[in-house]
Each structure stands twice: as structure tokens, then as C-alpha cells.
Chains A and B, each alone.
Chain A
Amino acid sequence: MTNETVIKTEDLTKRFGDFTAVKKISFEVKRGEIFGFLGANGAGKTTAMKMLIGILKPTSGNAKIAGFDIYNQTEQIKKNIGYMSQKFSLYEDLTIMENVQLFAGIYGLSDDEIKQRSSELIHKLNLQNQADKLVESLPLGWKQKLAFSLAIIHNPRIVFLDEPTSGVDPITRRQFWNMIYEAASNGITVFVTTHYMDEAEYCNRITILVDGVIKALDSPAALKEKYNTSSIEDVFVLLARGAKRND
């Protein structure tokens, strides 16, 4: 982690009609930091994330992602970030290699880079013998590892992960986090949401969003000390139990 700020938001707000989904959230994330974004269902996580990746215009407030403004530099933002979600990550009816080449192309790599990075990636994941198989034949955990590798194939400044490990078996879940650590140590900032509270502990800092407002923002250890609890789950329950909203 370095001192360089790669995400900075100031009073970021999104209203839908008379409903305020995200209310004046302000935070900074440093380069190489693993930043956990937690909240109850309906707390506003997805809305906030959509604004940060440049696909939803805020109602008010400011944010800079990798130095680019979220109002009028969204194309530059998209080139400098990676994104993966739990629900959609890969094309099931394409082979592993076809997915790799497609994503590398979408992220704007040159033909030479595509050739080189895809072969590196396949080797690193040990998928040499399966490169021609359809993605649908891979177990979920492998799909998610592949999807993560693709989300960072263009070496982005920041990668956004939306519940990347939901439903994944416990061993693969941990292998996935090793990949996150590795990416972070290579200077990629990781912005991640999860419902597994043990995973919150792997983050450098976490925020807990309740009804669109940041209720807590600190390192896991500092939060446990502040709320005098033994686990992040207890902190979460303490802060989120009073939530009015539910999606």
C-alpha cells in the first residue's frame, strides 16, 4: 500500500425520486489497498459501486477514480479499472481461451499483448489442458478465479469485485483471496463487497454502509476495538440491526 490516493469521493449522493439510495458518502482509498465495502441488502452498495465505475451519474457530490472525474471522464475510468461480479462474469458458451481473448480485446490490449497475456494467464492458472473447453464445464470456483484474472488482465489501477466468492467452496474461497493479496501487492487497488464476515478481516480497511450512509470506516482491528466486540460480524450486526431499509 502506498500514500497515493486512487479513489476519492466527497459527499457522493444518489437520489431516485424522493428516495436517497446513497447519502453524502466521503472516503479515500490508497493505491494497493484492499478496501472492503460492506452493508446490509439494500444499503446502497450497488448504487455506490455503479457510480464509482462510471455507469451511473450521481445526483450530487464528487468523486475521482484513478484521477478521473466520474461526471465527464467515464471512458478514461473504464480503461483504468477492472470489474467482476458474482452474477455475470464469463461467457459460458465460449471456451476458456475465447473468453480470455474476448476480455483482453474489450479492455483494449493489442494483438501482441493479447497473445502474450493470455498464454501467461492460462499457465498461471494451470489451465493448459482445458483452454479449449467451454467455460460452462468449469466448477464455479474456477470460473471465479478465471473471471478475476480477466478483470485484471489489462493491469488496471483498481479492480472492483462485487461478491466474488458467494457460493464458492471454502478452500477455493481462500485461494481466491490469495489472488487478491497478490494483485494488491502488485499495486492494484482492490475494492470488494462480500457477505462473508471472515473475508472482511482480510481487508486493510472496511466501510459499513447502513441506509445509504457510512456508519463505520476503519481497519477491522480498530472497529472491533471501538465497538468492543470480538468479530466483524458483531460490529456489523450492531450497526446494521437498526437499518430501516431492506433492498
Chain B
Amino acid sequence: MSAVEIKNIVKKYSTKKTSVTAVDNISFTAERGELFGLIGPDGAGKSTIFRILTTLLLPDSGSAALLDYDIIKDWKEIRNIVGYMPGRFSLYKDLTVEENLEFFATVFNTTIKENYELIEEIYKQLEPFKNRRAGKLSGGMKQKLALCCALIHKPKILFLDEPTTGVDPVSRKEFWEILKRLKTRGISILVSTPYMDEAKLCDRIALIQKGKILEINPPKNIISKFERNLFAVHSPEMFKLLMDLRSYSKTETCFAFGENHHLVVNDSSISAVDVKKYLESAGHPKATVSNIEPTIEDCFMHLMSK
């Protein structure tokens, strides 16, 4: 029995003028206890998948089950075993921190006290503000409260829709540390994110673009399947360098990547020395070229360009 098993799910949104296929025949399985990531930009279909799996939205076709409960037939059971943190802040702004938590506990027929140990670590940081209205909390605090509310009924599967979007790098790191610890408690977690660097923190990831899955694998397998030579290139004139690399006959793709440009060549015999020679002739005497291992973002962009 898998935590999540989805088969051939299709979901279209139609208005009078347009029709968009948000989820285009997607199938995958997430195992129990797994931290599974849906990685993709806005519009990839991540939120739609989450809403279908949490029984908030019906698919046009296909089937899905959570711990063998069918998302259509067994929707009532599913709502008891899942915790869901939507992408948009969805708590009651005019209730206090404590009232929100109390409300969610009551809805699920439990009490804060009963499951306190599960949320203790996160809630401790909120406790000084427990009488503050949720609408008046900071972004980071809202996110932590939403996580507590999604956990208070001790769900078996947790759905987190872009919990770190718009969150600064320090808070993002802390949030992923919390997820790692929740995982050790046996909770299966599906998390979506547009930040490719977070992919490596998942057990397995699905790279999604425009409603389709580009690839599903553990992050390190996705990286090892990138069967091209990749170079990091730097020179004092980065914008000119980008243009010059793009007009190099051996270039497949070249993109800016922080302090370097990442160059994928179309010929496996090309070495860093060859690239350097070309750049010297193109007016970059100070260019540095080194062979590097790809990141998930390189892989994603490579799959997108295919």
C-alpha cells in the first residue's frame, strides 16, 4: 500500500474563451514515509494535483488513492488522514493563534492537548504570540501556524503547497529542517516548491512543467542521468560572455547561473581547454572554464529545452 498512488489524472480548466489543461495525464506513486517533492514553476499544475488528492477538486478523468482510500468514493476518510497547507494563507485572520489551532483541532474531533507533542517544537516559537490575531502575524509565523493547524489531527499524509515561496533563505532552511524531523515520525510528506535547490532535500522528486511530468527519480539519479558535458564559465564581462558562448558552434545551451554561466556542449569530445581556446579568440583572455556536475536546475532546464 502506497501513501499516494495516482493514475492518468487529467484536469482541464475552461472559461468561455480558453481551455487550459492544468494536469495532463499524470501518474506517480509516493511511498509511505517518503518526502516526495513536486518541483516546477507557477502554472505547472502542482496546486491542482494537491487539490485533487485532498478531495477538494474532482479530476476530469483518471484515478487516485491515498493509503488505498479512493479520492472520490472515500473522500470522507481521506479528509481525516490528510493534513493540507494551501499555497495561500487560509487561516482565520480574525481569530487568534490559539483560537485557530483550537478550531482545527475541534473540527477533527480532537484537542490541542492530545496531539501537542507532534507540534510542540513548532508551536513553542508561536506561543509568545498565542493571543495575537493570525492576520497580524509575520509571514514566517503565519507559515508555522498553518503547519501546526495542518498537523493537529495527526495526519498520515501531509500536503504542503509551496510552503517556502517568498520566504527568505534562512527561514527556508529552518522549514526544511522541521520537515526532516516530521518525516522521522513516519508522516508521508508531499511538498511542492518552485525553488530547484530545495529538490535535493527530498527522497524523490517529480519535475513538472505545463501539467506534465518531465522526470521522477531521487535527485541524485536525475543528476547522474544528465548525459552531457557541463562547464562553468566565468569572465570579467559576463553579458558579452553569454552572447559569445551562445554563438559558439559547439554550444547546445548556455544560461547564466549565479556567478558563472553554465554551458552545455553538443559534442562529448569538447574539453574545458577547447572552450577556453574559443573564448580567447572571442576576446575573453581572462575567461575561466571548468567541468562541473549539474544541479537539479540544470537538469530541469535541459529537460524543458528538449
Most buried by A among B138, B173, B259, B305: B259
Residues of chain B from 164 to 207 with CB closer than 8 A to chain A in the complex: 165-171, 173, 194-196
- Whether a CB of chain A sits under 8 angstroms from the CB of B62 is no
- Whether a CB of chain A sits under 8 angstroms from the CB of B139 is yes
A198-B258, A201-B259, A246-B139 as given contacts; A163 in contact with B166, CB under 8 Å: yes
- Whether a CB of chain A sits under 8 angstroms from the CB of B141 is yes
A141-B42 Cα distance, complex, nearest whole Å: 9
Choice from A170, A232, A240, A241 contacting B258 with Cβ under 8 Å:
A232
Choice from B18, B239, B259, B300 contacting A181 with Cβ under 8 Å:
B239
A12-B23 Cα distance, complex, nearest whole Å: 49
- Whether a CB of chain A sits under 8 angstroms from the CB of B28 is no
Establish whether residues A247 and B255, one from each chain, have CB atoms under 8 Å apart when the complex forms. Answer: no
A41-B139, A140-B41, A220-B259 as given contacts; A240 in contact with B239, CB under 8 Å: no
Establish whether residues B41 and A168, one from each chain, have CB atoms under 8 Å apart when the complex forms. Answer: yes
Establish whether residues A197 and B141, one from each chain, have CB atoms under 8 Å apart when the complex forms. Answer: no
Residues of chain B from 27 to 49 with CB closer than 8 A to chain A in the complex: 40-44
Residues of A contacting B140 with CB < 8 Å? 41-42, 246-247
Establish whether residues A40 and B305, one from each chain, have CB atoms under 8 Å apart when the complex forms. Answer: no
Please name the residue on chain A nearest to B44 by beta carbon: A169
A42-B138, A137-B17, A201-B259 as given contacts; A195 in contact with B168, CB under 8 Å: yes
A185-B168 Cα distance, complex, nearest whole Å: 29
Residues of B contacting A141 with CB < 8 Å? 41
A137-B18, A140-B41, A167-B194 as given contacts; A197 in contact with B138, CB under 8 Å: no
A200-B257 Cα distance, complex, nearest whole Å: 10
- Whether a CB of chain A sits under 8 angstroms from the CB of B256 is yes
Establish whether residues B167 and A195, one from each chain, have CB atoms under 8 Å apart when the complex forms. Answer: yes
Residues of A contacting B24 with CB < 8 Å? none
Choice from B166, B167, B171, B300 contacting A170 with Cβ under 8 Å:
B300
Choice from A42, A163, A201 contacting B139 with Cβ under 8 Å:
A42
B62 to chain A, nearest CB (A): 24
Establish whether residues B301 and A241, one from each chain, have CB atoms under 8 Å apart when the complex forms. Answer: no
Establish whether residues A139 and B258, one from each chain, have CB atoms under 8 Å apart when the complex forms. Answer: no
Establish whether residues B168 and A41, one from each chain, have CB atoms under 8 Å apart when the complex forms. Answer: yes
A12-B10 Cα distance, complex, nearest whole Å: 53
A233-B166 Cα distance, complex, nearest whole Å: 15
A-B contact count (CB 8 A): 104
Please name the residue on chain B nearest to A210 by beta carbon: B170
Please name the residue on chain A nearest to B297 by beta carbon: A170
A190 to chain B, nearest CB (A): 13
Residues of A contacting B305 with CB < 8 Å? 171
- Whether a CB of chain A sits under 8 angstroms from the CB of B270 is no
A202-B259 Cα distance, complex, nearest whole Å: 7
- Whether a CB of chain A sits under 8 angstroms from the CB of B282 is no
Residues of A contacting B300 with CB < 8 Å? 170
B3 to chain A, nearest CB (A): 26
Please name the residue on chain A nearest to B141 by beta carbon: A246
A170-B196, A171-B305, A185-B239 as given contacts; A134 in contact with B171, CB under 8 Å: no
Residues of B contacting A247 with CB < 8 Å? 137-141
A134-B17, A237-B169 as given contacts; A167 in contact with B41, CB under 8 Å: yes
- Whether a CB of chain A sits under 8 angstroms from the CB of B55 is no
Establish whether residues A236 and B41, one from each chain, have CB atoms under 8 Å apart when the complex forms. Answer: no
Establish whether residues B171 and A246, one from each chain, have CB atoms under 8 Å apart when the complex forms. Answer: yes
A243-B169 Cα distance, complex, nearest whole Å: 12
Establish whether residues A40 and B170, one from each chain, have CB atoms under 8 Å apart when the complex forms. Answer: yes
**Which B residues fall within an 8 A CB radius of A?**
17-18, 40-44, 137-141, 162, 165-171, 173, 194-196, 209, 238-239, 242, 255-259, 297, 300-301, 304-305
A selection of 18 A-B contacts at a CB cut-off of 8 Å is: A42-B139, A140-B41, A141-B41, A167-B41, A168-B194, A169-B304, A170-B196, A171-B255, A171-B305, A195-B169, A196-B195, A198-B257, A236-B170, A240-B169, A240-B170, A247-B137, A247-B138, A247-B139
